[in-house]
Amino acid sequence: MSAPSTTPRPVAANSGDGSSSARLSPRRDLAPSVWPQLEPLLPQVTKPIQYVGGELGAVVKDWDAAAVRWALMYPDAYEVGLPNQGVQILYEVLNELPDVLAERTYAVWPDLEKLMRAHGVPQFTVDAHRSVRDFDVFGVSFSTELGYTNLLTAIDLAGIPLLAADRTDADPVIVAGGHAAFNPEPIADFIDAAVLGDGEEAVLEITTIVREWKAEGSPGGRDELLLRLARTESVYVPRFYDVDYLPDGRIQRVVPNRPDVPFRVHKRTTMDLDAWPYPKKPLVPLAETVHERYAVEIFRGCTRGCRFCQAGMITRPVRERSITTVGQMVQQGLEFSGFHEVGLLSLSSADHSEIGDMCSGLAQQYEGTNVSLSLPSTRVDAFNIDLAQELSRNGRRTGLTFAPEGGSERIRKVINKMVSEEDLIRTVVTAYTNGWRQVKLYFMCGLPTETDEDVLQIARMAHEVIKAGRAATGSKDIRCTVSIGGFVPKPHTPFQWAAMERPEVIDNRLRMLKQEINSDRSLGRAIGFRYHDGEPSLIEGLLSRGDRRVGAVIRKVWENGGRFDGWSEHFSYQRWVDAAAEVLPAFGVDLDWYTTRERDELEVLPWDHLDSGLDKDWLWQDWQDSLSEYEQDDCRWTPCFDCGVCPSMDTEIQIGPTGRKLLPLTPVNGLKLPTGAQQ
């Protein structure tokens, strides 16, 4: 398949004097809506409502009154992207500024993409249906690397050059963020900048820089703006760094190519979450989405130290939101949105120091209503009968997912998942005896040092769960779902040096596991089995630990039709394998070099110049401890292990208890039930 044709780009006015302002103003100040061209296409596509906009909570501001204009994207379909907490927070933070405008855009499905190309309709925002190319900043939040091809589609549909080096002052600055931005090297050719860490304060700083640069007449053009961003030492601008390689393909060094750029770029850490109670006005979708609830992040960060978990490592330290702020956010969020479910979010929600009082207070506040509570992320050893009773007080029991991650005690020591089988049995029995009839157990396959037996132990554990549930309840109406994900080594974790397992090995272990689960038909009938095969994980591994040379693979896959690679029905393993085989040999490397090869201690990793706060020597020692099956405690409750985050980032662990209670709250208009939830 040939490369997709590029959407015709508007011709920018040029005064001939090289000034950026002369080229920016005539086009961007107009920003016409593309709705008249888009609307006739919508009856021809699936789920057209996802492109319409107008949701409760959406904001449309006066284009001409804005000094800085942001287009924010979660590079997936509307149904996945709209509930994304990070984008919603930034959308609200930016739109609260009187002279700033922020709108949202999402990946369009292939059926609409085809029509947009045929009719010359550019990538648009759902708020006012303006062309993404008309904005000053195009911010893209990546939670997974498999969204990279969708980024290229959006850039191309917008009429923006794919390569950052080809862009002019008339193009928006493309800024990547999210967890995957902690190694943005595979997309370094396509983005202008990347932000590491928390975005609330970062987007405000970027906005200030853009505002001042524009007010001064855009001196020095695009290059000067990017230089000002880079000088913050918390915005990474790839064009200002050169990468040298050794003859064997490894990186020799990554160094600035100009003297006024920092050698290392540091992550942003937002402290005092109570000062950032967002979202205050959550977006309420018009179309069905993967999550329809009011979500409150009750704390950020995790110090449990699971060695596979990038999110836990890069978001350190723990910062709790106070119980009183959580209560106020829930009250206001439900009043505004009318949602019937409250999700208390974090990497391990039951670890909040006041989770018991929080849940009991919220359950009491909304008792007798149809508002339910959920803890989407619950550690096995933190769930107890009190939590179970509060979560089910209103008679609605949301899903419960527990993540032992490994089937055997040995592999759980390797990954530092300090959960015993006794903990798991006790926890699921608590759930079953409090009215739940189904729980989900999440495991990983392909972990370092893993054997067939480690994986088969998952079946035995699932059998024990069913037997214990039946014994405790006296009922056979007990089920559990075993869900298996493929392990992917991630940057800034102790496993960043680990080799990946081959897909055929993963798939064989999963076949053996399914047979073992069904070896006892009485128990097997009560156990659901869901899994991701090894092929997508291998490609995610290529992208997560790749360097700039992988960008050529991404582009080749995209040119050959790659879209929505996070969706099994759209993902093509062969397309990625073929692209890697075509592109990488010219660099003296191949797909296995990036994935199934173990790194040594002294190898320069593609992200070493990007500072997450974690000391590389500490990560290496933790990698060695994992091979020795040595467990590390949670530093919230024990002496500091010197991971490096708190001193290097000038941060500290912020936890309760505050000693306060959630109640009494004063509901709006004196109603116990939020008005939106009465419907």
More confident residue, 659 or 192: 192
Q: What is the pLDDT of residue 17?
A: 34
Backbone angles phi and psi of 209, in degrees to 5:
-65, -45
How many C-beta neighbours within 10 Å does residue 246 have?
Answer: 12
Q: Are residues 249 and 321 in the same domain?
A: no
| Mean predicted lDDT score pLDDT of the chain | 90
pLDDT of residue 527: 97
Q: What pLDDT does residue 673 have? A: 39
Identify the pLDDT of residue 229.
98
pLDDT at 356 over 70: yes
Is the confidence at residue 671, as pLDDT, over 50?
Answer: no
Encode pLDDT of 174-213 as tens digits: 999 999 999 999 999 999 999 999 999 999 999 999 999 9
> What local confidence, expressed as pLDDT, does residue 28 receive?
54
Q: How far apart are CA 16 and CA 479, in angstroms?
A: 71
Enumerate the β-bridge partners of residue 73.
105, 140
Cβ-Cβ contacts under 8 Å for 296 (sequence gap 6 or more): 321, 326, 329, 330, 333, 342, 343, 344, 345
Would 87 be classed as within a structural domain?
yes
Is it the case that residue 340 has pLDDT exceeding 60?
A: yes
**Which of 271, 315, 265 has the alpha carbon at shortest distance from 611?**
265
Sequence letter at residue 418: M
> Of the ranges 65-74, 366-375, 434-443, 658-667, which one carries the lowest mean pLDDT score?
658-667
pLDDT confidence of residue 380: 80
Task: Provide the pairing of β-strand 137-141 with 68-74.
Answer: parallel
- 9: pLDDT strictly greater than 60: no
**Partners of 444 in beta bridges:** 485
Q: Domain end: 196, 231, 266, which one?
A: 266
The CB-side HSE value for 568 (13 A sphere, CA atoms) comes to 6
Q: In terms of domains, do 103 and 161 share one?
A: yes
- 609: which residues sit within 8 A by CB, 6+ positions away? 241, 254, 263, 264, 265
Mean pLDDT, residues 441-470 taken together: 96
Would you say residue 424 lies in a domain? no
Same domain membership, residue 235 and residue 199: yes
Domain assignment of residue 541, yes or no: no
State whether 256 and 300 are in the same domain. Answer: no
Residue 167 CA to residue 12 CA, distance in Å, equals: 12
pLDDT for 597: 97
Q: Is the pLDDT of residue 663 over 60?
A: no
Q: Indicate if the pLDDT at residue 444 is higher than 80.
A: yes
pLDDT for residue 659: 74
Q: Are 214 and 316 members of one domain?
A: no
529 in any annotated domain: no
Residue 49 sits in the same domain as residue 153 = yes
Q: Final residue of a domain: which of 223, 251, 266?
A: 266
> Residue 63 — φ and ψ, nearest 5°?
-60, -45
Average pLDDT over residues 354-379: 86
Helix residue ranges per DSSP H, 269-397: 310-314, 323-337, 355-365, 385-391
pLDDT of residue 114: 98
Asked if pLDDT for residue 561 goes beyond 80, the answer is yes
And the tokens for 486?
């493929």
The reply to whether 253 and 331 lie within a common domain is no
CATH code of 250's domain: 3.40.50.280
- Give the type of residue at 68: V
What is the CATH number for 643? 3.30.750.210
Identify whether residues 87 and 156 lie together within a single domain.
Answer: yes
Question: Which band of pLDDT confidence, cut at 50, 70 and 90, is reported for residue 665?
Answer: low
Which of the residue ranges 121-135, 357-371, 490-504 would you say has the lowest mean pLDDT?
Answer: 357-371
- The 10s digit of each residue's pLDDT in 583-602 is 999 999 999 999 999 999 99
Q: Are 332 and 675 in contact (CB under 8 A)?
A: no
Domain assignment present for residue 329? The answer is: yes
Q: Which residues of 270-304 are buried (b: 16+ CB within 10 A; e: fewer)?
A: bbebbebbbbebbbbbbeebebebbbbbbbbbbbb
User: Does 176 map to a domain?
Assistant: yes
Q: CA 483, CA 508: separation in Å to the nearest integer?
A: 16
pLDDT in tens, 462-519: 999 999 999 999 999 999 999 999 999 999 999 999 999 999 999 999 999 999 999 9
pLDDT in tens, 370-395: 888 888 767 787 777 778 778 777 66
Strand order in the sheet with 401-405: 401-405, 438-445, 479-486, 527-531
Kindly state whether residues 204 and 352 are assigned to the same domain.
Answer: no
Inside any domain, residue 212:
yes
pLDDT given at position 398: 67
Query: In the structure encoding, which two tokens stand for residue 617, read together?
Result: 């020597």
Domain that holds residue 69: 34-266
Average pLDDT over residues 120-147: 97
- What percentage of the chain exceeds 90 in pLDDT? 76
Q: Which of 266, 281, 312 is the last residue of a domain?
A: 266
Rounded (10°) CA dihedral 419, 424, 425, 431 = 150
pLDDT for the residue numbered 434:
86
pLDDT of residue 372: 87
The per-residue b/e assignment along 462-501, b for 16 or more CB within 10 angstroms, e otherwise, is bbebbbbbbebbeeeebbbbbbbbbbbbbbbbbbbbbbbb
Same domain? 298 vs 238: no
Count the Cβ atoms, other than its own, within 10 Å of residue 153.
21
* pLDDT greater at residue 536 or residue 351: 536
Q: Tell which wins on pLDDT, 667 or 65.
A: 65
Q: Are 43 and 175 members of one domain?
A: yes
Q: Please, what's the largest Cα pairwise distance for the chain?
A: 83
Q: Are residues 328 and 223 in the same domain?
A: no
513 assigned to some structural domain: no
Each residue's pLDDT tens digit, 239-297: 999 999 999 999 999 999 999 999 999 999 999 999 999 999 999 998 889 888 999 99
- Range with the lowest mean pLDDT among 227-241, 301-315, 597-611? 301-315
Residue 664's pLDDT band, with cuts at 50, 70 and 90, is low
For residue 52, the model assigns a pLDDT of 96
The candidate with the shortest Cα–Cα distance to 434, out of 467, 473, 468, is 473
pLDDT at 394: 66
* CA gyration radius, the chain: 25
On the question of pLDDT at 18 being above 60, the answer is no
Whole-number pLDDT of residue 95: 98
pLDDT band at 30 (very low <50, low <70, confident <90, very high): low
Total number of domains constituting the chain: 2
Q: What gap in Å lies between CA 110 and CA 44, rounded to an integer?
A: 12
